[in-house]
């Protein structure tokens, strides 16, 4: 059932919708509906979006690409308040799955495209987000091509921690101790980072023995020393 989600939405001030004037909120609320997806379930299969786009309200989304022989590669992670779907474009080749339990704010693609046409500020914000995604993809190419195994694992932990902080939706860097659940299994981390499972486990153990992180049951993780983790990821400039 659709409702006036916009006025109480936890990502209202950081999502694409923030570019809309207050007068457009009623129209947006009439268009929107919430969808909950359990961890491990597909959101968009084989790029087939079914005419839907969405903002991520909570949880983490795993993006992957499959080869003809069935091999699959994780190519990205998305968190609140990021946007999934391809307005003004045909379906792509990326499979979007819920890495954790996910809540989405969904829109019909044609209706959403109409809003974009009517509100230039929303168009500009979407372009900014797309450019940020491109920058992130280039940074990840650097990580896979040049960083050591320890730097890759440290970088991924920082990414997850910063994106899963909650109310600020990753807009601030990790400065204090933070406990969270990793959105990827050890095997998925290895796939995403281009490493072996054994290497990922060894790097996590190294960070834990150094007192930088604490590893809990399941996927639980506490970053004990964010500054040192950032240094190990070589993300501190001289």
Q: What does the domain layout of the chain look like in residue ranges?
A: 6-137, 148-232
pTM across the whole model: 0.83
What was the pLDDT predicted at 48?
A: 61
pLDDT < 50 stretches in the chain: 1-3, 167-172, 236-238
In the three-class reduction of DSSP (H, G, I as helix; E, B as strand; rest coil), residue 70 is classed as: coil
- Residue 72: its pLDDT value, please? 83
> What φ, ψ does residue 59 adopt, rounded to 5°?
95, -175
Sorted by sequence, the CB contacts under 8 Å of residue 88 that are 6+ apart come out as: 113, 116
Specify the pLDDT at position 12.
Answer: 77
Start-to-end C-alpha separation, the chain: 53
The answer to whether 6-137 and 148-232 have equal CATH topology is no
Closest CA to 55 of 84, 86, 30, 19: 84
Rounded Cα distance, 13 and 126, in Å: 14
pLDDT for the residue 169: 40
- Options 3.40.10.10, 1.10.760.10, 3.40.50.300, 2.60.120.10; CATH for 6-137 is 2.60.120.10
**DSSP-derived 3-state class of residue 78:** strand
Question: 78-94 burial, b for 16+ CB within 10 Å, e for fewer?
Answer: bbbbbbbbebeeeebeb
Q: What is the per-residue pLDDT for 93?
A: 79
How high is the pLDDT of residue 150?
96
Please say whether the dihedral angle defined by the alpha carbons of residues 47, 84, 171 and 101, taken in this order, is positive or negative. negative
Measured CA to CA, the distance from residue 82 to residue 105 in angstroms comes to 11
pLDDT of residue 22: 77
C-beta neighbour count of 137 within 10 angstroms? 11
pLDDT of residue 167: 40
pLDDT of residue 192: 93
- Residues belonging to the chain: 238
Distance from C-alpha of 160 to C-alpha of 183, rounded to nearest angstrom = 8
- Provide the pLDDT for residue 17: 82
Q: What pLDDT score does 152 carry? A: 95
Task: Please tell me the predicted confidence (pLDDT) of residue 166.
Answer: 57
CATH for the 148-232 domain, from 1.25.40.10, 3.40.920.10, 3.90.1150.10, 1.10.10.10: 1.10.10.10
């Amino acid at each position: 059932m659709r409702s006036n989600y916009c006025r109480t939405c936890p990502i209202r001030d950081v999502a694409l919708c923030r570019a809309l004037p207050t007068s457009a909120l009623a129209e947006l609320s009439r268009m929107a509906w919430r969808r909950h997806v359990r961890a491990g379930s597909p959101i968009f299969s084989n790029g087939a979006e079914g005419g839907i786009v969405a903002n991520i309200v909570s949880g983490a989304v795993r993006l992957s690409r499959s080869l003809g022989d069935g091999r699959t590669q994780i190519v990205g992670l998305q968190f609140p308040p990021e946007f999934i779907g391809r307005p003004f474009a045909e379906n792509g080749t990326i499979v979007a799955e819920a890495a954790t339990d996910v809540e989405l704010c969904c829109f019909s693609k044609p209706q959403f495209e109409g809003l974009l046409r009517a509100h230039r500020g929303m168009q500009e914000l979407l372009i900014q987000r797309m450019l940020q995604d491109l920058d992130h993809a280039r940074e990840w190419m650097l990580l896979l091509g040049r960083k050591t195994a320890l730097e890759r694992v440290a970088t991924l932990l920082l990414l997850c921690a910063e994106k899963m902080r909650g109310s600020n939706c990753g807009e601030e860097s990790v400065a204090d101790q933070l406990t969270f659940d990793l959105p990827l299994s050890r095997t998925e981390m290895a796939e995403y980072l281009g490493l072996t499972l054994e290497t990922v486990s060894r790097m996590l153990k190294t960070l834990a023995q150094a007192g930088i992180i604490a590893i809990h049951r399941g996927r639980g993780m506490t970053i004990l020393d964010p500054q040192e983790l950032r240094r190990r990821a070589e993300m501190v400039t001289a």
